Structure 1
Amino acid sequence: MNLPTPLLDAIAEFAADVSSDAVMTVVVQLRQSSSNLEQALLQIQQRLHSTARTRFQRILEEWRNCAGRVPPGELAASVEGALHQATRLRDESSVELVWSGPATPRLGFRSTEQVLLELISGARRSLFIVTFAAYKVDALVQAIQAAVTRGVKVSFLLESREESDGKVDFDAADGLALSRVGGITTYVWPLAKRPKSIQGLHGSLHAKFVVADEEVLFVSSANLTDYAMNLNIELGTLMRGGDAPRQVAANLAALLRDGVFRAVNL
Protein backbone atom coordinates (compact mmCIF):
# COMPACT_ATOMS: atom_id res chain seq x y z
CA MET A 1 0.00 0.00 0.00
CA ASN A 2 0.97 3.63 -0.34
CA LEU A 3 2.12 4.95 3.01
CA PRO A 4 0.24 8.01 4.30
CA THR A 5 2.09 11.32 4.07
CA PRO A 6 2.46 11.88 7.85
CA LEU A 7 4.19 8.50 8.17
CA LEU A 8 6.44 9.22 5.18
CA ASP A 9 7.36 12.60 6.69
CA ALA A 10 8.22 10.99 10.02
CA ILE A 11 10.38 8.37 8.29
CA ALA A 12 12.19 11.00 6.19
CA GLU A 13 12.89 13.12 9.27
CA PHE A 14 14.24 10.11 11.16
CA ALA A 15 16.53 9.06 8.30
CA ALA A 16 17.85 12.60 7.80
CA ASP A 17 18.51 13.42 11.46
CA VAL A 18 19.75 10.12 12.91
CA SER A 19 23.08 8.37 12.26
CA SER A 20 23.13 5.76 9.51
CA ASP A 21 24.16 3.02 11.94
CA ALA A 22 21.22 3.76 14.23
CA VAL A 23 18.78 3.83 11.31
CA MET A 24 20.04 0.48 10.02
CA THR A 25 19.72 -0.99 13.51
CA VAL A 26 16.05 -0.03 13.42
CA VAL A 27 15.66 -1.57 9.96
CA VAL A 28 17.19 -4.87 11.08
CA GLN A 29 15.13 -5.00 14.27
CA LEU A 30 11.89 -4.33 12.39
CA ARG A 31 12.63 -7.13 9.92
CA GLN A 32 13.29 -9.55 12.76
CA SER A 33 10.26 -8.55 14.82
CA SER A 34 7.62 -10.92 13.47
CA SER A 35 7.56 -13.11 16.58
CA ASN A 36 7.46 -10.39 19.25
CA LEU A 37 6.82 -6.96 17.78
CA GLU A 38 6.27 -4.99 20.99
CA GLN A 39 9.44 -6.37 22.57
CA ALA A 40 11.41 -5.45 19.45
CA LEU A 41 10.04 -1.91 19.47
CA LEU A 42 10.97 -1.53 23.12
CA GLN A 43 14.50 -2.74 22.44
CA ILE A 44 14.85 -0.32 19.53
CA GLN A 45 13.87 2.64 21.70
CA GLN A 46 16.23 1.58 24.48
CA ARG A 47 19.16 1.58 22.05
CA LEU A 48 18.49 5.04 20.62
CA HIS A 49 19.70 8.30 22.14
CA SER A 50 17.05 10.81 23.20
CA THR A 51 16.79 12.77 19.92
CA ALA A 52 16.68 9.62 17.79
CA ARG A 53 14.18 8.05 20.17
CA THR A 54 11.88 11.06 19.83
CA ARG A 55 12.08 10.82 16.02
CA PHE A 56 11.37 7.09 16.13
CA GLN A 57 8.42 7.56 18.47
CA ARG A 58 6.86 9.84 15.88
CA ILE A 59 7.20 7.03 13.33
CA LEU A 60 5.51 4.65 15.74
CA GLU A 61 2.67 7.08 16.37
CA GLU A 62 1.96 7.51 12.65
CA TRP A 63 2.45 3.80 11.98
CA ARG A 64 -0.10 2.84 14.62
CA ASN A 65 -2.54 5.27 13.03
CA CYS A 66 -2.43 2.96 10.01
CA ALA A 67 -4.25 0.33 12.11
CA GLY A 68 -2.08 -2.59 11.05
CA ARG A 69 -2.25 -1.91 7.31
CA VAL A 70 1.54 -1.52 7.06
CA PRO A 71 3.45 -4.66 8.12
CA PRO A 72 6.83 -4.29 9.90
CA GLY A 73 8.73 -5.50 6.84
CA GLU A 74 7.19 -2.78 4.66
CA LEU A 75 7.96 -0.16 7.30
CA ALA A 76 11.56 -1.39 7.45
CA ALA A 77 11.88 -1.13 3.66
CA SER A 78 10.54 2.44 3.75
CA VAL A 79 12.99 3.44 6.48
CA GLU A 80 15.88 1.90 4.54
CA GLY A 81 14.79 3.69 1.37
CA ALA A 82 14.62 7.00 3.20
CA LEU A 83 18.13 6.41 4.57
CA HIS A 84 19.42 5.79 1.04
CA GLN A 85 17.87 9.06 -0.14
CA ALA A 86 19.19 11.04 2.84
CA THR A 87 22.68 9.62 2.32
CA ARG A 88 22.61 10.49 -1.38
CA LEU A 89 21.56 14.06 -0.63
CA ARG A 90 24.33 14.43 1.95
CA ASP A 91 26.87 13.11 -0.55
CA GLU A 92 25.66 15.55 -3.19
CA SER A 93 25.97 18.57 -0.90
CA SER A 94 29.15 20.31 0.22
CA VAL A 95 30.17 23.13 2.54
CA GLU A 96 33.27 25.28 1.97
CA LEU A 97 34.64 28.01 4.22
CA VAL A 98 35.61 31.21 2.42
CA TRP A 99 38.15 33.57 3.97
CA SER A 100 39.38 37.05 3.08
CA GLY A 101 42.23 38.59 5.06
CA PRO A 102 45.70 37.53 6.23
CA ALA A 103 46.52 34.19 4.63
CA THR A 104 47.85 31.09 6.35
CA PRO A 105 50.01 28.86 4.11
CA ARG A 106 48.65 25.58 5.48
CA LEU A 107 44.99 26.36 4.83
CA GLY A 108 44.09 27.05 1.23
CA PHE A 109 40.94 29.11 1.70
CA ARG A 110 39.52 30.80 -1.37
CA SER A 111 38.81 34.52 -1.15
CA THR A 112 35.39 36.17 -1.06
CA GLU A 113 35.82 37.83 -4.45
CA GLN A 114 37.03 34.62 -6.07
CA VAL A 115 34.00 32.69 -4.84
CA LEU A 116 31.54 35.43 -5.79
CA LEU A 117 32.95 35.65 -9.31
CA GLU A 118 32.70 31.88 -9.69
CA LEU A 119 29.16 31.84 -8.33
CA ILE A 120 27.94 34.66 -10.57
CA SER A 121 29.72 33.33 -13.65
CA GLY A 122 28.38 29.82 -13.08
CA ALA A 123 24.72 30.78 -12.61
CA ARG A 124 22.45 29.33 -15.29
CA ARG A 125 18.93 30.44 -14.35
CA SER A 126 18.78 32.81 -11.40
CA LEU A 127 20.83 34.94 -9.02
CA PHE A 128 19.46 36.63 -5.92
CA ILE A 129 22.00 38.93 -4.27
CA VAL A 130 21.44 40.54 -0.88
CA THR A 131 23.80 43.10 0.67
CA PHE A 132 23.84 46.07 3.01
CA ALA A 133 26.57 48.13 1.33
CA ALA A 134 28.01 48.07 -2.18
CA TYR A 135 30.62 50.08 -4.07
CA LYS A 136 33.83 49.80 -6.10
CA VAL A 137 33.46 46.16 -7.17
CA ASP A 138 33.80 46.55 -10.93
CA ALA A 139 34.76 42.92 -11.56
CA LEU A 140 31.59 41.70 -9.85
CA VAL A 141 29.41 44.17 -11.75
CA GLN A 142 30.93 42.99 -15.04
CA ALA A 143 30.21 39.37 -14.09
CA ILE A 144 26.62 40.31 -13.23
CA GLN A 145 26.20 42.06 -16.57
CA ALA A 146 27.50 38.95 -18.33
CA ALA A 147 25.01 36.82 -16.40
CA VAL A 148 22.13 39.05 -17.53
CA THR A 149 23.37 38.83 -21.11
CA ARG A 150 23.28 35.03 -21.08
CA GLY A 151 19.69 35.04 -19.78
CA VAL A 152 20.11 34.67 -16.02
CA LYS A 153 17.34 36.28 -13.96
CA VAL A 154 19.23 38.61 -11.59
CA SER A 155 17.57 40.13 -8.52
CA PHE A 156 19.01 42.36 -5.80
CA LEU A 157 17.75 43.16 -2.31
CA LEU A 158 19.61 46.24 -1.10
CA GLU A 159 19.69 48.74 1.72
CA SER A 160 18.63 52.21 0.62
CA ARG A 161 19.09 55.72 1.89
CA GLU A 162 15.39 56.50 1.63
CA GLU A 163 14.18 53.42 3.53
CA SER A 164 16.92 53.18 6.19
CA ASP A 165 15.59 56.03 8.38
CA GLY A 166 18.91 57.85 8.22
CA LYS A 167 21.11 54.87 9.04
CA VAL A 168 22.96 55.12 5.73
CA ASP A 169 23.70 58.08 3.49
CA PHE A 170 24.12 56.04 0.31
CA ASP A 171 22.17 53.75 -1.97
CA ALA A 172 23.81 50.39 -2.59
CA ALA A 173 22.25 50.36 -6.06
CA ASP A 174 24.12 53.58 -6.89
CA GLY A 175 27.36 52.09 -5.59
CA LEU A 176 26.96 49.21 -8.02
CA ALA A 177 25.80 51.50 -10.83
CA LEU A 178 22.90 49.11 -11.40
CA SER A 179 21.01 51.72 -13.39
CA ARG A 180 23.55 51.11 -16.17
CA VAL A 181 23.05 47.34 -16.03
CA GLY A 182 19.76 46.53 -17.71
CA GLY A 183 17.60 43.51 -16.99
CA ILE A 184 18.00 43.50 -13.20
CA THR A 185 15.17 43.59 -10.65
CA THR A 186 16.01 45.54 -7.50
CA TYR A 187 14.09 45.36 -4.22
CA VAL A 188 14.24 47.35 -1.00
CA TRP A 189 12.82 46.75 2.46
CA PRO A 190 10.32 49.58 2.99
CA LEU A 191 10.61 51.44 6.26
CA ALA A 192 6.92 50.83 6.94
CA LYS A 193 7.55 47.06 6.86
CA ARG A 194 10.46 47.12 9.32
CA PRO A 195 10.04 46.34 13.01
CA LYS A 196 10.77 49.08 15.53
CA SER A 197 12.29 49.07 19.00
CA ILE A 198 10.49 50.71 21.92
CA GLN A 199 12.77 53.70 21.27
CA GLY A 200 11.37 53.94 17.74
CA LEU A 201 14.53 52.70 15.97
CA HIS A 202 14.00 50.62 12.84
CA GLY A 203 15.75 47.41 11.82
CA SER A 204 18.37 47.28 9.08
CA LEU A 205 18.82 45.10 6.03
CA HIS A 206 22.09 43.65 7.30
CA ALA A 207 22.24 40.20 5.66
CA LYS A 208 24.81 39.41 3.00
CA PHE A 209 24.24 36.36 0.84
CA VAL A 210 23.82 35.10 -2.72
CA VAL A 211 21.58 32.28 -3.97
CA ALA A 212 22.33 30.86 -7.42
CA ASP A 213 19.85 28.63 -9.27
CA GLU A 214 18.31 27.68 -5.89
CA GLU A 215 21.20 25.18 -5.69
CA VAL A 216 24.13 27.16 -4.28
CA LEU A 217 24.12 29.51 -1.28
CA PHE A 218 26.95 31.82 -0.21
CA VAL A 219 26.52 33.48 3.19
CA SER A 220 29.23 35.92 4.25
CA SER A 221 30.12 38.71 6.62
CA ALA A 222 31.29 40.64 3.54
CA ASN A 223 29.39 43.44 1.87
CA LEU A 224 29.91 43.97 -1.86
CA THR A 225 32.63 46.57 -1.34
CA ASP A 226 36.26 47.07 -2.26
CA TYR A 227 37.18 46.99 1.43
CA ALA A 228 35.44 43.65 1.95
CA MET A 229 37.06 42.11 -1.12
CA ASN A 230 40.61 43.38 -0.56
CA LEU A 231 41.26 44.76 2.94
CA ASN A 232 38.93 43.36 5.58
CA ILE A 233 38.92 40.07 7.41
CA GLU A 234 35.73 38.37 6.23
CA LEU A 235 34.41 34.85 6.70
CA GLY A 236 31.74 33.09 4.68
CA THR A 237 30.25 29.69 3.94
CA LEU A 238 29.58 28.32 0.45
CA MET A 239 26.92 25.60 0.40
CA ARG A 240 26.28 23.49 -2.68
CA GLY A 241 23.25 21.22 -2.79
CA GLY A 242 21.23 20.16 0.21
CA ASP A 243 18.19 21.97 1.54
CA ALA A 244 19.68 25.34 2.52
CA PRO A 245 19.77 27.02 -0.94
CA ARG A 246 16.20 25.96 -1.71
CA GLN A 247 14.98 27.03 1.73
CA VAL A 248 16.51 30.49 1.42
CA ALA A 249 15.15 30.93 -2.11
CA ALA A 250 11.69 29.84 -0.96
CA ASN A 251 11.84 32.25 1.98
CA LEU A 252 12.73 35.16 -0.31
CA ALA A 253 9.92 34.22 -2.70
CA ALA A 254 7.41 34.11 0.17
CA LEU A 255 8.51 37.51 1.48
CA LEU A 256 8.13 38.97 -2.00
CA ARG A 257 4.64 37.48 -2.37
CA ASP A 258 3.68 38.91 1.02
CA GLY A 259 4.83 42.39 0.01
CA VAL A 260 7.59 42.62 2.62
CA PHE A 261 10.02 43.81 -0.08
CA ARG A 262 9.21 46.36 -2.78
CA ALA A 263 10.59 46.61 -6.30
CA VAL A 264 12.15 49.96 -7.21
CA ASN A 265 12.99 51.69 -10.46
CA LEU A 266 16.61 52.73 -10.86
Structure 2
Amino acid sequence: MDPLLNAVTKLVALVSPSKIEAIASRLRGTHPSDGEQNLQEVVGTPAARSALGAVMMAWRDTALTGDILAGMLLGAAHTRQQTQRDHNVELVWTGPTTPFVATRRTDQVLLDLIRQAKREVFIVSFVAYDVPSVVAALNDAIDRGVDTRILVEASLTQGGSLLVDPVATMRNAVPSARLYVWTDRPHPFTNGRVHAKVAVADSTIAFLTSANLTGHALEKNMEAGVLLTGGSTPSNLRDHMFALIETKVIRST
Protein backbone atom coordinates (compact mmCIF):
# COMPACT_ATOMS: atom_id res chain seq x y z
CA MET A 1 0.00 0.00 0.00
CA ASP A 2 2.87 2.41 0.73
CA PRO A 3 3.99 2.77 -2.92
CA LEU A 4 0.42 3.67 -3.89
CA LEU A 5 0.04 6.15 -1.04
CA ASN A 6 3.34 7.76 -1.97
CA ALA A 7 2.33 7.98 -5.62
CA VAL A 8 -1.05 9.49 -4.72
CA THR A 9 0.65 12.08 -2.50
CA LYS A 10 3.00 13.13 -5.31
CA LEU A 11 0.16 13.39 -7.81
CA VAL A 12 -2.08 15.63 -5.68
CA ALA A 13 0.92 17.93 -5.10
CA LEU A 14 1.18 18.50 -8.86
CA VAL A 15 -2.44 18.55 -10.01
CA SER A 16 -5.26 20.96 -9.18
CA PRO A 17 -8.20 19.73 -7.06
CA SER A 18 -10.56 20.00 -10.05
CA LYS A 19 -8.34 17.69 -12.10
CA ILE A 20 -8.11 15.26 -9.19
CA GLU A 21 -11.92 15.20 -9.12
CA ALA A 22 -11.96 14.48 -12.88
CA ILE A 23 -9.50 11.61 -12.45
CA ALA A 24 -11.47 10.23 -9.51
CA SER A 25 -14.69 10.37 -11.54
CA ARG A 26 -13.15 8.27 -14.32
CA LEU A 27 -11.74 5.76 -11.84
CA ARG A 28 -15.06 4.93 -10.20
CA GLY A 29 -16.40 1.53 -11.17
CA THR A 30 -13.07 0.41 -12.68
CA HIS A 31 -10.36 -2.07 -11.72
CA PRO A 32 -6.56 -2.08 -12.19
CA SER A 33 -6.86 -4.41 -15.17
CA ASP A 34 -9.01 -1.89 -17.05
CA GLY A 35 -6.03 0.27 -17.97
CA GLU A 36 -5.64 3.99 -17.50
CA GLN A 37 -9.21 4.95 -18.52
CA ASN A 38 -7.95 7.77 -20.77
CA LEU A 39 -6.66 9.58 -17.69
CA GLN A 40 -3.55 11.06 -19.27
CA GLU A 41 -5.65 13.57 -21.20
CA VAL A 42 -6.81 15.07 -17.90
CA VAL A 43 -3.36 16.31 -16.89
CA GLY A 44 -1.26 18.70 -18.92
CA THR A 45 2.36 18.71 -17.78
CA PRO A 46 4.99 16.00 -18.25
CA ALA A 47 5.58 15.89 -14.50
CA ALA A 48 1.88 15.36 -13.81
CA ARG A 49 1.62 12.66 -16.49
CA SER A 50 4.60 10.88 -14.96
CA ALA A 51 3.05 11.10 -11.48
CA LEU A 52 -0.27 9.77 -12.80
CA GLY A 53 1.53 6.91 -14.49
CA ALA A 54 3.20 6.07 -11.17
CA VAL A 55 -0.20 5.97 -9.47
CA MET A 56 -1.59 3.60 -12.11
CA MET A 57 1.46 1.35 -11.91
CA ALA A 58 1.27 1.14 -8.12
CA TRP A 59 -2.49 0.53 -8.28
CA ARG A 60 -1.96 -2.52 -10.53
CA ASP A 61 0.01 -4.14 -7.71
CA THR A 62 -3.01 -3.98 -5.39
CA ALA A 63 -6.47 -5.52 -5.25
CA LEU A 64 -8.17 -2.17 -4.68
CA THR A 65 -11.13 -1.06 -6.77
CA GLY A 66 -11.25 2.20 -8.67
CA ASP A 67 -13.76 3.51 -6.14
CA ILE A 68 -11.22 3.09 -3.34
CA LEU A 69 -8.44 4.71 -5.35
CA ALA A 70 -10.78 7.60 -6.22
CA GLY A 71 -11.49 8.06 -2.52
CA MET A 72 -7.77 8.04 -1.74
CA LEU A 73 -7.13 10.74 -4.33
CA LEU A 74 -9.99 12.95 -3.13
CA GLY A 75 -8.99 12.52 0.51
CA ALA A 76 -5.37 13.36 -0.21
CA ALA A 77 -6.36 16.41 -2.25
CA HIS A 78 -8.68 17.66 0.50
CA THR A 79 -5.99 17.17 3.14
CA ARG A 80 -3.48 19.09 1.03
CA GLN A 81 -5.91 21.98 0.56
CA GLN A 82 -6.68 22.08 4.28
CA THR A 83 -2.99 22.02 5.17
CA GLN A 84 -2.29 24.88 2.78
CA ARG A 85 -5.08 26.91 4.36
CA ASP A 86 -3.87 26.19 7.87
CA HIS A 87 -0.14 26.63 7.21
CA ASN A 88 1.04 28.78 4.34
CA VAL A 89 4.59 29.87 3.48
CA GLU A 90 5.19 32.85 1.18
CA LEU A 91 8.40 34.19 -0.32
CA VAL A 92 9.02 37.84 0.53
CA TRP A 93 11.49 39.87 -1.51
CA THR A 94 12.66 43.46 -1.75
CA GLY A 95 14.88 44.47 -4.67
CA PRO A 96 14.96 43.66 -8.37
CA THR A 97 12.14 41.39 -9.54
CA THR A 98 11.44 39.37 -12.67
CA PRO A 99 8.20 38.49 -14.49
CA PHE A 100 8.79 34.80 -13.80
CA VAL A 101 8.36 34.53 -10.02
CA ALA A 102 5.67 36.29 -8.00
CA THR A 103 6.88 37.76 -4.70
CA ARG A 104 5.60 40.19 -2.08
CA ARG A 105 7.57 43.22 -0.93
CA THR A 106 9.04 43.36 2.57
CA ASP A 107 7.31 46.62 3.51
CA GLN A 108 3.93 45.37 2.27
CA VAL A 109 4.17 42.17 4.28
CA LEU A 110 5.24 43.91 7.49
CA LEU A 111 2.49 46.51 7.19
CA ASP A 112 -0.12 43.81 6.54
CA LEU A 113 1.06 41.84 9.58
CA ILE A 114 0.76 44.88 11.83
CA ARG A 115 -2.63 45.89 10.40
CA GLN A 116 -4.02 42.37 10.82
CA ALA A 117 -2.93 42.12 14.47
CA LYS A 118 -5.88 41.99 16.86
CA ARG A 119 -4.25 41.24 20.22
CA GLU A 120 -0.47 41.62 20.09
CA VAL A 121 2.48 42.23 17.82
CA PHE A 122 6.18 41.71 18.60
CA ILE A 123 8.89 43.09 16.29
CA VAL A 124 12.64 42.44 16.52
CA SER A 125 15.22 44.45 14.57
CA PHE A 126 18.88 45.42 14.88
CA VAL A 127 18.23 49.08 14.10
CA ALA A 128 15.08 51.11 13.47
CA TYR A 129 14.68 54.47 11.74
CA ASP A 130 13.12 56.20 8.71
CA VAL A 131 10.01 54.00 8.54
CA PRO A 132 7.06 56.41 8.75
CA SER A 133 4.55 53.94 7.27
CA VAL A 134 5.49 51.27 9.83
CA VAL A 135 5.40 53.81 12.66
CA ALA A 136 1.91 54.89 11.59
CA ALA A 137 0.74 51.27 11.42
CA LEU A 138 2.15 50.53 14.89
CA ASN A 139 0.47 53.58 16.41
CA ASP A 140 -2.81 52.60 14.76
CA ALA A 141 -2.43 49.11 16.20
CA ILE A 142 -1.89 50.55 19.68
CA ASP A 143 -5.00 52.70 19.25
CA ARG A 144 -6.91 49.46 18.48
CA GLY A 145 -5.70 48.01 21.78
CA VAL A 146 -2.97 45.80 20.31
CA ASP A 147 -0.17 45.00 22.79
CA THR A 148 2.86 46.25 20.83
CA ARG A 149 6.42 45.25 21.74
CA ILE A 150 9.71 46.01 20.00
CA LEU A 151 13.19 44.58 20.66
CA VAL A 152 16.16 46.46 19.16
CA GLU A 153 19.92 46.59 19.62
CA ALA A 154 20.93 49.03 22.34
CA SER A 155 23.24 52.00 21.93
CA LEU A 156 26.79 51.99 23.32
CA THR A 157 25.68 54.12 26.25
CA GLN A 158 23.06 51.52 27.16
CA GLY A 159 25.43 48.56 26.89
CA GLY A 160 24.83 47.76 23.24
CA SER A 161 26.90 48.22 20.10
CA LEU A 162 25.38 51.15 18.21
CA LEU A 163 26.41 54.79 18.02
CA VAL A 164 22.78 55.62 17.20
CA ASP A 165 20.00 54.93 19.70
CA PRO A 166 17.14 52.85 18.21
CA VAL A 167 15.40 52.81 21.58
CA ALA A 168 15.15 56.60 21.68
CA THR A 169 14.06 56.65 18.04
CA MET A 170 11.24 54.18 18.62
CA ARG A 171 10.23 55.75 21.93
CA ASN A 172 9.72 59.07 20.17
CA ALA A 173 7.98 57.47 17.19
CA VAL A 174 5.82 54.90 19.01
CA PRO A 175 5.58 56.22 22.58
CA SER A 176 3.10 53.63 23.82
CA ALA A 177 5.04 50.58 22.59
CA ARG A 178 6.94 48.42 25.07
CA LEU A 179 10.63 48.55 24.19
CA TYR A 180 13.27 45.94 25.01
CA VAL A 181 17.04 45.53 24.76
CA TRP A 182 19.49 42.68 25.26
CA THR A 183 22.38 43.98 27.34
CA ASP A 184 23.02 41.26 29.91
CA ARG A 185 24.96 38.88 27.70
CA PRO A 186 26.86 36.26 29.71
CA HIS A 187 29.23 33.75 28.11
CA PRO A 188 28.94 32.45 25.42
CA PHE A 189 26.96 35.50 24.24
CA THR A 190 29.45 38.17 25.31
CA ASN A 191 29.59 40.87 22.60
CA GLY A 192 26.50 39.36 20.98
CA ARG A 193 24.03 41.50 19.07
CA VAL A 194 20.28 41.62 18.48
CA HIS A 195 20.66 40.50 14.88
CA ALA A 196 17.29 38.78 14.42
CA LYS A 197 14.73 40.46 12.18
CA VAL A 198 11.33 38.97 12.90
CA ALA A 199 7.75 39.99 13.54
CA VAL A 200 4.91 37.92 14.96
CA ALA A 201 1.23 38.79 15.36
CA ASP A 202 -1.39 37.03 17.50
CA SER A 203 0.62 33.77 17.54
CA THR A 204 -0.70 33.05 14.04
CA ILE A 205 1.50 35.02 11.61
CA ALA A 206 5.30 35.19 11.66
CA PHE A 207 7.61 37.11 9.35
CA LEU A 208 11.30 36.16 9.20
CA THR A 209 13.43 38.49 7.11
CA SER A 210 16.94 39.75 6.45
CA ALA A 211 15.61 43.33 6.51
CA ASN A 212 16.18 45.72 9.36
CA LEU A 213 13.46 48.17 10.32
CA THR A 214 14.83 50.92 8.07
CA GLY A 215 13.61 52.67 4.96
CA HIS A 216 16.39 51.30 2.77
CA ALA A 217 15.89 47.73 3.99
CA LEU A 218 12.13 47.79 3.49
CA GLU A 219 12.10 49.54 0.12
CA LYS A 220 15.49 49.61 -1.62
CA ASN A 221 17.90 46.89 -0.51
CA MET A 222 17.93 43.32 -1.81
CA GLU A 223 16.31 41.55 1.13
CA ALA A 224 14.69 38.13 1.46
CA GLY A 225 12.32 36.56 3.92
CA VAL A 226 9.39 34.20 4.45
CA LEU A 227 5.91 34.83 5.78
CA LEU A 228 4.45 31.94 7.79
CA THR A 229 0.70 31.84 8.34
CA GLY A 230 -0.72 29.18 10.63
CA GLY A 231 1.08 26.14 11.94
CA SER A 232 3.15 26.00 15.11
CA THR A 233 6.04 28.31 14.18
CA PRO A 234 4.28 31.66 14.84
CA SER A 235 3.08 30.55 18.27
CA ASN A 236 6.50 29.07 19.09
CA LEU A 237 8.20 32.32 18.12
CA ARG A 238 5.75 34.37 20.18
CA ASP A 239 6.19 32.10 23.21
CA HIS A 240 9.98 32.25 22.87
CA MET A 241 10.01 36.06 22.81
CA PHE A 242 7.80 36.27 25.90
CA ALA A 243 9.93 33.64 27.66
CA LEU A 244 12.99 35.84 27.04
CA ILE A 245 11.13 38.63 28.86
CA GLU A 246 10.00 36.43 31.73
CA THR A 247 13.48 35.00 32.29
CA LYS A 248 14.97 38.53 32.08
CA VAL A 249 17.20 37.68 29.16
CA ILE A 250 15.88 40.83 27.53
CA ARG A 251 14.76 43.79 29.61
CA SER A 252 12.33 46.62 29.14
CA THR A 253 13.69 50.12 28.82
Query: TM-score band (shorter)?
Result: 0.5 to 0.7
Contact 1:163 1:189 in 2 (8 A): no
Question: Residue type matched to 2:164 in 1?
Answer: F
Matched, 1:124 2:118: yes
Unpaired stretches in structure 2, ≥5 consecutive residues: 7-77
Which residue in 2 is equivalent to 1:184? 177
Instruction: Give the Cα separation in 1 of the matches to 2:180 and 2:147.
Output: 14
Instruction: Give the Cα separation in 2 of the matches to 1:146 and 1:159.
Output: 24
Contact 1:134 1:225 in 2 (8 A): yes
Query: Where does structure 1 differ by over 6 angstroms across 4 or more consecutive aligned residues?
Result: 84-87
Which structure 2 residues correspond to residues 1-266 of structure 1 after superposition, within 5 A?
21=5, 88=82, 91-162=85-156, 167-176=161-170, 178-190=171-183, 192-196=184-188, 202-264=191-253
1:149-172 CA distance string (max 9 Å, x none): 011000011111147756311122
Kindly, what percent of the aligned residue pairs are identical? 37
Contact 1:165 1:202 in 2 (8 A): no
* Displacement after TM superposition at 1:145 (Å): 0.4
Contact 2:185 2:192 in 1 (8 A): no
Contact 2:117 2:202 in 1 (8 A): yes
Instruction: Give the Cα separation in 2 of the matches to 1:172 and 1:260.
Output: 19
Q: Over aligned residues, Cα RMSD in angstroms?
A: 2.7
Instruction: Give the Cα separation in 1 of the matches to 2:178 and 2:121.
Output: 10
Instruction: Give the Cα separation in 1 of the matches to 2:220 and 2:81.
Output: 40
Contact 1:136 1:175 in 2 (8 A): no
1:207-249 CA distance string (max 9 Å, x none): 0000000100000000011110222100000000000001111
Question: Residue type matched to 1:184 in 2?
Answer: A
Contact 1:222 1:229 in 2 (8 A): yes
Instruction: Give the Cα separation in 1 of the matches to 2:82 and 2:186.
Output: 40
Instruction: Give the Cα separation in 2 of the matches to 1:254 and 1:166.
Output: 21
Partner of 2:224, secondary structure, is: strand
Instruction: Give the Cα separation in 1 of the matches to 2:79 and 2:241.
Output: 27
* Displacement after TM superposition at 1:91 (Å): 4.2
Instruction: Give the Cα separation in 2 of the matches to 1:255 and 1:127.
Output: 15
Question: Residue type matched to 2:117 in 1?
Answer: A
1:35-55 CA distance string (max 9 Å, x none): xxxxxxxxxxxxxxxxxxxxx
1:129-160 CA distance string (max 9 Å, x none): 00001110001000000000011000011111
Unpaired stretches in structure 1, ≥5 consecutive residues: 1-18, 23-83
Instruction: Give the Cα separation in 1 of the matches to 2:168 and 2:106.
Output: 22
Contact 2:204 2:229 in 1 (8 A): yes
